[in-house]
Amino acid sequence: MKKDIIIVGGGCIGLMSAYCLLKSGRNITIIDKGDLTDGTSFGNAGLLSAFKKAPLSSPGVILDTLKLILKGESPVSVHPTFDLNLYKWLLKFVANSTEAKLKKTLALFERYGQISLDMYETMIKEDGMDFYFCKDGLLMIYTEEKTFDEKVLHCNDKNAYEILSKKRTKEYMPILNEKVIGSILLKENGHIDPGEFMFELQKYLEKKGVEFLLNEKVDKLEFKGSKVSKINTNNNSYEADTLILSTGADDKLAKQAKNKFMMTPAKGYSITFKMPEALKPKTSALFADLFIAMTPRRDTVRITSKLELGTTNPNVIKKQIDSIHKNIDLYTNYFEKENIIEWAGFRPLTPNDIPIIGYDEKYNNLVHATGLGWLGITFAPAIGKIVNDIITVDKKNTTNVDVLLFSAFYQG
């Protein structure tokens, strides 16, 4: 069966690519091995955190993590593995954690974060999508005096930062206990309910004629000369003028096209529950010293944490959930949680927080769109726009400024 554009992977990156290509008048088929209800793009924190928020690969991150390991509060764990690629990834991660890279990455984050925020607003205002979206900042909560004092020194821009005392911080998050030192509101950031967003976007795309082939797994790509000639699933075989691989942390198909991307699955967890309305956080918050996020949504609150490397086990591991509860209990008073849903998923993490976007170097009808790590929701609209630009306008990586700036093909 011959198609115009096939997108393999209906996470936020696949759906946003479809949205932008649809606006350019293309015919799109999305194939996903799941049913689009529970993947990484659904269970995440939903933070839109491109502004003034340091990337993972930041100077000092190794030392900070070691400190947390010693305190028994570390959100990061590396499982022993024989996979040499993980150790190469870790070396590259350390090499990227420099001041010079930090400055550049922060500037790129702001550029693509702003494009994304604007596009989320457009989807609500002009396309009539109804998903929970707030542009009311991200509260960075500090539990260590020294870290807080150091951060405050760099927060001079009144448009971007608001420094909050312990008392004011507790107004934003009434469950906090006395151990909290204070917080910094990063005013330009926002948050969404990612599940609602995905549901609304899928509904919109279906209404506009995008074809969804769900519960269908692409097992094998075939190649002829400089093209992907066949896309074989467990049910069928397809051909496409253009194939987009947006398979998140699963790089098996990219590997069939002989790519060895520097990307590793980084497992994380979320716990979603109802809590008394008066105690809900007033905006999204991140315990800066602990790597725990707390996001209010329409009826629930979601806590996310953990970054596990060297595992592909998809199960929710009780020990990790207990550890998240234990860490959050250290800095909060007791509060009631009802209808708890526990979830785990994988971030497609590159060692420098730069995604993998652009035409394949060998096959000229193949486009890659992955590697968004812990920021897929933050940047999904901008990535969709870039994918559309290269396919409908530029046709080459080297003639697209965004690919040159924001793809691991060039920013290794």
Ligand X SMILES: Cc1cc2nc3c(=O)[nH]c(=O)nc-3n(C[C@H](O)[C@H](O)[C@H](O)COP(=O)(O)OP(=O)(O)OC[C@H]3O[C@@H](n4cnc5c(N)ncnc54)[C@H](O)[C@@H]3O)c2cc1C
* Contact residues: ligand X, CB under 6 A: 8-14, 31-34, 39-41, 44-47, 217-218, 246-250, 253, 268-270, 293, 304, 345, 347-348, 370, 372-378
* Cβ proximity to ligand X, 246 vs 365, nearer residue: 246
199: Cβ contacts below 8 Å, ≥ 6 apart: 131
Burial class (CB in 10 A: 0-12, 13-18, 19+), 41: buried
- Tell me how far, at minimum, the Cβ of 178 lies from ligand X, in Å: 28
- Tell me how far, at minimum, the Cβ of 202 lies from ligand X, in Å: 11
- Tell me how far, at minimum, the Cβ of 26 lies from ligand X, in Å: 19
- Tell me how far, at minimum, the Cβ of 109 lies from ligand X, in Å: 11
* Cβ proximity to ligand X, 41 vs 181, nearer residue: 41
Q: Among all chains, which residue has been given the structure tokens 């790590």?
A: 373
- Tell me how far, at minimum, the Cβ of 275 lies from ligand X, in Å: 19
Nearest partner of 186 among 236, 258, 138, 129, judged by Cα:
138
- Tell me how far, at minimum, the Cβ of 228 lies from ligand X, in Å: 14
* Cβ proximity to ligand X, 181 vs 301, nearer residue: 301
Q: In whole angstroms, what is the distance from residue 11 CA to residue 39 CA? A: 7
- Tell me how far, at minimum, the Cβ of 142 lies from ligand X, in Å: 19
Beta bridge partners of 30: 7, 212
* Cβ proximity to ligand X, 184 vs 201, nearer residue: 201
- Tell me how far, at minimum, the Cβ of 393 lies from ligand X, in Å: 22
* Cβ proximity to ligand X, 181 vs 197, nearer residue: 197
For 228, the token pair is 């992907």
- Tell me how far, at minimum, the Cβ of 334 lies from ligand X, in Å: 24
Assess contact for 159 and 187: CB atoms under 8 A: yes
- Tell me how far, at minimum, the Cβ of 68 lies from ligand X, in Å: 17
* Cβ proximity to ligand X, 3 vs 347, nearer residue: 347
* Cβ proximity to ligand X, 39 vs 55, nearer residue: 39
* Cβ proximity to ligand X, 45 vs 129, nearer residue: 45
* Cβ proximity to ligand X, 181 vs 290, nearer residue: 290
Beta bridge partners of 268: 345
Q: Is the dihedral of CA 223, 226, 229, 233 positive or negative?
A: positive
* Cβ proximity to ligand X, 184 vs 192, nearer residue: 192
Burial class (CB in 10 A: 0-12, 13-18, 19+), 157: exposed
